[in-house]
Structure 1
Amino acid sequence: MAATVNFIRRLILVFIIALPVLVVTKANAESPILDRVLDRGVVKVAMTGDQPPFNVVSRSGMFIGYDVDLAQALANAMNVELEIIKVPFPELISAVQAGRADMIISGMSITSQRSKQVSFVEPYMVSGKSLLATSERMAQLEQDGGFNRLGIKVAALKSSTSKTLVQLNIPKAEIVGVNNYEEAIKLIRERKVDALFADMAICKLAVLRNPNDDFVTLQRPLSMEPIGVALPHGDLHFFNLVRNFMVSYERVGLMTKLRSKWFDNGEWLAQLP
């Protein structure tokens, strides 16, 4: 945990040196959400806690991941504490709509349907979809004509873009909705589904974490999807504050450092349960 805190401090130091100091006060807020955040001294961020390397609960019970570091950096810039609200993926949007959380930072793809419900800040990264299966099953399916056939079962996270893409691209396959990725991996092991359709980062991580299962994933993503921070509709001041922070964060290279830490370096895997 100390290493993570020090890492965030280094990132914020670079941010402060490279940019004018971001000062947020009640007097200049003029924003109902920002007023609420400043009054309580806490920003509440919703995430699932089961989307490594975006976010996950470590063996010590702490939230870690790309999204966690990003949320902590934002809280530091606003001079408030960070409170992570653990919410299942299908309930993330309703959590911010109901005011349980101030924003979503949870590897959420920006889509037109979701944009009707929440306001997305411009992407903080681009992801892509892939398939995870055992090497034996993947080879069989490729030999027998692929996944778009009756009798094929593909797991996908409920209320996710993965589920939508399965419906569009392999409509003959049966979709098995799951609440989290561990549930999907268990179903693959038990041969109750043929594959998992998910973000390529999730599929690659599953291969690394489960060497005895002989999992494989595709070499190239099947799609490209922007990932963004989601905010409640109707608060332009709060939206602009978060957007300005995210744009500045990218410009000074701090996003690159986070991507390197969580997607290119596997040291954090030792913290997983």
Structure 2
Amino acid sequence: MVSWHRSRRAGWVAVVLAVVATATTTDAAASGKFDSRLDTIVAHGVLTVCSTGDYKPFSFRDANGNWSGVDIDMAGELAKQLRVKLAFHQSTWATVATDVGRECDIAMGGISITLDRARSVFFTQPYLRDGKTPITRCENTAKYQTLAQIDQPGVRVIVNPGGTNEQFDTANLHKATIVRYPDNNTIFEALLAGAADLMITDATETRYQAALHPGQLCAVHPDQPFTFVEKAYLVPRGDVVFQQWVDQWLHIALDDGTFQRISGRALG
């Protein structure tokens, strides 16, 4: 009998605690006080952005520490709309998803949506469709049209480690040699110098690098890439308030010409 009364008393306590928790949550929602990074950013007056700084035309950091690129300018627009200052944290492709929320408020810089990254972060709505495709010296474009042509003994495929390019190569190339090259800022010069035969990367990047090296590097069927990829921005997992605000800002920027104005020359 005693144990039954104790069990009953414990049940009533649980009910009371649940009611109190519900009332507290309801009161917080009604007052507009959310535990969101959106409020923290505004209160502190600084938006900190993670970016790799090695992925033209989206994100580039030069030897003097100066940042440039499509998504760097978009970060400036985002800070402007938040009415705060802008700061950057240089991340890497291997750590960018886990850096969000610890080192920065948001990650920007040509980052592809993947299910692996979605385990650690929330993505905004996508702002660009892309996909993996080859880039090679122009005289070799006919040789590397298909994965079957590329995945052959003696073919060298250069890749920047830690990101989706390496993941794609590892999953699809079993006979070709994968050449891991750590500096993504000079990787295309290495390709031109003969360090490898081709690179497989996002079609947007192949178009951009082909334009930088006319007659030397050529994008291979960038309008028909091997994969489907979308690019988006990364925000801390669980912060729906901040995600929704950034989504609305991005939706407006894509519709009112802001993104086109910033990206027009670089993305074509």
State if a TM-score over 0.5 links the two structures.
yes
5+ residue gaps, structure 2: 1-30
SS of the aligned residue for 1:193 comes to coil
1:61 positional shift: 4.8
2:243 corresponds in structure 1 to 239
How well do the aligned residues superpose, as a CA RMSD in angstroms?
A: 2.5
2:78 corresponds in structure 1 to 74
Taking a change above 3 Å as real, the CA distance of residues 210 and 256 of structure 1, as seen in their structure-2 partners, is closer
Taking a change above 3 Å as real, the CA distance of residues 29 and 161 of structure 1, as seen in their structure-2 partners, is farther
5+ residue gaps, structure 1: 1-26, 265-273
1:82 positional shift: 0.9
Does the 8 Å CA contact 2:132/2:203 hold for their aligned counterparts?
Answer: yes
1:177 corresponds in structure 2 to 180
1:139 positional shift: 4.1
* Structure 1 CA distance for aligned equivalents of residues 94 and 182 of structure 2: 8
Deviations 1:189-245 (A, max 9, x none): 342322111112222222232347x22221334133110010111212111111121
* Structure 1 CA distance for aligned equivalents of residues 85 and 144 of structure 2: 49
Taking a change above 3 Å as real, the CA distance of residues 78 and 132 of structure 1, as seen in their structure-2 partners, is same
2:24 corresponds in structure 1 to none
Does the 8 Å CA contact 2:160/2:181 hold for their aligned counterparts?
Answer: yes
- Please state if 1:125 is matched with 2:128: yes
TM-score of the aligned structures, taking structure 2 as reference length: 0.77
* Structure 2 CA distance for aligned equivalents of residues 231 and 173 of structure 1: 36
Taking a change above 3 Å as real, the CA distance of residues 173 and 76 of structure 1, as seen in their structure-2 partners, is same
Taking a change above 3 Å as real, the CA distance of residues 29 and 166 of structure 1, as seen in their structure-2 partners, is farther
* Structure 2 CA distance for aligned equivalents of residues 153 and 216 of structure 1: 17
Matches within 5 A, 1:104-183: 104-141=107-144, 146-183=149-186
* Structure 2 CA distance for aligned equivalents of residues 51 and 163 of structure 1: 14
SS of the aligned residue for 2:100 comes to helix
* Structure 2 CA distance for aligned equivalents of residues 179 and 39 of structure 1: 38
Taking a change above 3 Å as real, the CA distance of residues 58 and 182 of structure 1, as seen in their structure-2 partners, is closer
1:5 corresponds in structure 2 to none
Matches within 5 A, 1:221-232: 221-222=224-225, 223-232=227-236
Q: Give structure 1 regions of 4+ aligned residues with deviation exceeding 6 angstroms.
A: none
Does the 8 Å CA contact 1:184/1:196 hold for their aligned counterparts?
Answer: no
- Please state if 1:45 is matched with 2:45: no
Q: Give the partner amino acid of 1:77.
A: Q
* Structure 1 CA distance for aligned equivalents of residues 196 and 35 of structure 2: 47
* Structure 2 CA distance for aligned equivalents of residues 118 and 108 of structure 1: 12
Taking a change above 3 Å as real, the CA distance of residues 241 and 29 of structure 1, as seen in their structure-2 partners, is farther
Taking a change above 3 Å as real, the CA distance of residues 221 and 157 of structure 1, as seen in their structure-2 partners, is farther
Greater Cα shift, 36-45 or 56-65? 56-65
Does the 8 Å CA contact 1:129/1:221 hold for their aligned counterparts?
Answer: no
Taking a change above 3 Å as real, the CA distance of residues 249 and 182 of structure 1, as seen in their structure-2 partners, is closer
Does the 8 Å CA contact 2:55/2:185 hold for their aligned counterparts?
Answer: no
1:108 positional shift: 0.6
Greater Cα shift, 128-137 or 111-120? 128-137
1:142 positional shift: 6.0
Question: Which of 204, 214, 217 matches 1:215?
Answer: 217
1:93 positional shift: 1.6
- Please state if 1:64 is matched with 2:78: no
SS of the aligned residue for 1:205 comes to helix
Taking a change above 3 Å as real, the CA distance of residues 76 and 91 of structure 1, as seen in their structure-2 partners, is same
Identity among equivalent pairs (%): 22
* Structure 2 CA distance for aligned equivalents of residues 221 and 50 of structure 1: 25
1:28 positional shift: 4.7
* Structure 1 CA distance for aligned equivalents of residues 124 and 135 of structure 2: 30
Q: How many residues align?
A: 235
1:257 positional shift: 2.6
SS of the aligned residue for 1:37 comes to helix
SS of the aligned residue for 1:89 comes to coil
Taking a change above 3 Å as real, the CA distance of residues 53 and 141 of structure 1, as seen in their structure-2 partners, is closer
TM-score of the aligned structures, taking structure 1 as reference length: 0.76
